Structures are given as structure tokens and as C-alpha cells.
């Protein structure tokens, strides 16, 4: 399925669930842990896709593309932490609040902050990875002027640091090393097409900065925090964002999106 169709399907899922907010909400101070509330919410809202045991094998998982996250592995695409560290609690909270573009994962900003924090604790409970030391969040300096000269420097850095090997000279995901790539589960994986696809975490300069520095866990995309300084990273951000466009989105069947929403409502009603 092409990225535009997947993105549209995700949008339809969100509409069907009645979730209207896509902007990044600021995470408030964490309330006291409410285990019982979190487990009830997870059973009613999340298990239909992610499975009762958090293994990504919920009742509708087989029909979803990409498949739901397996929480037991403790690997998450959206992180603001050092390469090798699990996501922070705030990373998980923001993912719940914003959803993931290009996937069936909707934004749950319609839930109260207390409910979203309760779900964060449930998600963490599925993997022993969160029992280790607290992850270190990467510092994000204020972005400079992402000027035309920054784009030119970023293009040079894109080649120098090997980004074009996978993403291609034009950022279309067609580089010489793109064929045969897989994710951590062995599923075929195409490098991100920077010209059309919407990043899962968002396309603000700070979002792209963190993706470059932290990497995309569970994929061949490494984190460059130990290799790239802030100046080179911002230049890359300028170049990557210069490749984006807003093509028309083709119409797509809505049956699968509607079925996910219906399944979520049915499970929620039962709980």
C-alpha cells in the first residue's frame, strides 16, 4: 500500500473515532499512578490492535498495515532519547496524544491527561526494558535560520554522512542500499521518502532534529548523536525539510478504517 493511501486510512480512523486534535499537547505534571484505570482503558481502547498482552496481536492486527507495535520488545520509533535508550515517559505520552502519521494509530488527545498517563504506565509494564536506568533525553538547541545556504550545506552533509545510500540523492527512499532492508522483526522496509511521506513524529524542525540524533529504533536508521554536532544536524534538517511537498491524496477504500473504529467501540462498550 502506498504511503498516501496509508496516511488517508489513518486519517479516516481518527475521524471515525471522533478524535479531533492533532497538535502536540504539553505534557502536564504526572498524576498519581492509577493501575486499575490504565488497565481498563487499555482493554477498551488498545487491546483490539496491540493485544491483551501487548504483543501486537490483537483481534484486528492481521489486517493492519503497518502492524501494531509489539510493546513486549520495548522498541519505539518515536523517541527523544539517546540512541540505545528507551523512550521517555513524555515520548509515550506525546505519541498517545498525537498519534502516528501514516499508520492506523490515532491521536488519543480526546482522553484526559490522567487517562493518557495511566496508559503510559500500562505500555511500559509490558517490557522489562523500562525497569532499567532512566533514559537520557537529548538536548535540542534553538533552531537557527534554516536558510538556502543551510540547505546547500545540508545537501553536502546528506552525502557525506551516507544518508543518500539508503534515502537516495533526492530523498525518495531509492538509494543503492535501499533494497533488502528489513525492520527488527524481519519485515521488508523501504527507507523514508522525504518528498511525499509525513514523518510519524511530525515535520517541525525540532522533530526532524531529534529523529536524526536519536535514530528510528527497530529500523536500520541509526542515531547520529555521537557523530553529528548540532550545526551539521540543523543543516541536514534544512535539507530534509526542503524536499517535502504536499501532493494530492488519492481516494482510498474506507472499509478497513471503519472496521478498526467499530472494533474499538465494540470492545470499549464491552468494558
pTM above 0.75, yes or no: yes
pLDDT on residue 202: 76
pLDDT on residue 19: 34
Whether the Cβ atoms of residue 69 and residue 50 lie closer than 8 Å to each other: yes
Q: What would the mean pLDDT of 226-231 be, rounded to a whole number?
A: 94
pLDDT on residue 39: 97
Render pLDDT for 133-153 as a digit per residue (tens, 0 to 9). Answer: 999 999 999 999 999 999 999
Closest CA to 90 of 193, 210, 205: 210
- Sketch the domain layout of the chain as residue ranges: 3-137+252-270, 148-242
pLDDT on residue 31: 79
| Three-class DSSP labels, 42-80 | HHHHHHHHHCCCCCCCCCCHHHCCCCCCCHHHCCCCCCC
Q: What would the mean pLDDT of 87-107 be, rounded to a whole number?
A: 93
Task: Give the model's confidence band at 53: pLDDT under 50 very low, under 70 low, under 90 confident, else very high.
Answer: very high
CATH architecture of the domain formed by 148-242: Orthogonal Bundle (1.10)
The more confident residue out of 187 and 19 is 187
Amino acid at each position: 500500500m502506498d504511503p498516501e493511501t496509508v496516511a488517508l486510512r489513518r486519517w479516516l480512523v481518527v475521524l471515525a473515532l471522533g478524535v479531533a486534535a492533532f497538535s502536540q499537547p504539553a505534557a502536564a505534571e504526572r498524576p498519581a499512578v492509577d493501575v486499575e484505570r490504565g488497565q481498563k482503558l487499555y482493554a477498551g481502547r488498545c487491546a483490539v490492535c496491540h493485544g491483551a498482552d501487548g504483543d501486537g496481536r490483537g483481534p484486528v492486527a492481521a489486517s493492519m498495515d503497518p502492524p501494531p507495535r509489539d510493546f513486549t520488545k520495548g522498541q519505539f520509533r518515536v523517541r527523544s532519547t539517546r540512541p540505545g535508550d528507551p523512550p521517555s515517559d513524555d515520548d509515550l505520552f506525546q505519541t498517545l496524544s498525537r498519534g502516528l502519521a501514516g499508520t492506523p494509530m490515532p491521536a488519543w488527545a480526546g482522553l484526559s491527561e490522567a487517562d493518557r498517563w495511566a496508559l503510559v504506565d500500562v505500555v511500559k509494564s509490558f517490557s522489562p526494558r523500562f525497569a532499567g536506568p532512566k533514559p537520557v533525553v537529548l538536548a535540542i538547541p534553538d533552531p537557527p535560520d534554516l536558510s538556502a545556504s543551510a540547505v546547500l550545506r545540508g545537501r553536502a552533509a546528506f552525502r557525506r554522512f551516507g544518508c543518500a545510500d539508503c534515502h537516495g540523492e533526492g530523498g525518495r527512499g531509492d538509494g543503492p542500499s535501499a533494497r533488502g532492508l528489513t525492520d527488527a522483526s524481519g519485515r521488508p522496509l523501504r527507507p523514508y521518502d522525504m518528498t511525499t511521506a509525513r514523518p510519524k513524529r511530525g515535520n517541525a524542525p525540532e522533530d526532524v532534529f531529534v529523529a536524526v540524533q536519536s535514530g528510528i529504533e527497530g529500523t536500520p536508521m541509526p542515531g547520529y548523536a555521537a557523530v553529528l554536532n548540532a550545526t551539521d544536524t540543523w543543516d541536514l534538517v534544512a535539507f530534509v525539510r526542503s524536499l517535502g511537498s504536499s501532493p494530492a491524496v488519492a481516494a482510498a477504500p474506507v472499509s478497513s478504517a471503519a472496521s478498526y473504529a467499530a472494533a474499538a467501540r465494540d470492545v470499549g462498550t464491552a468494558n
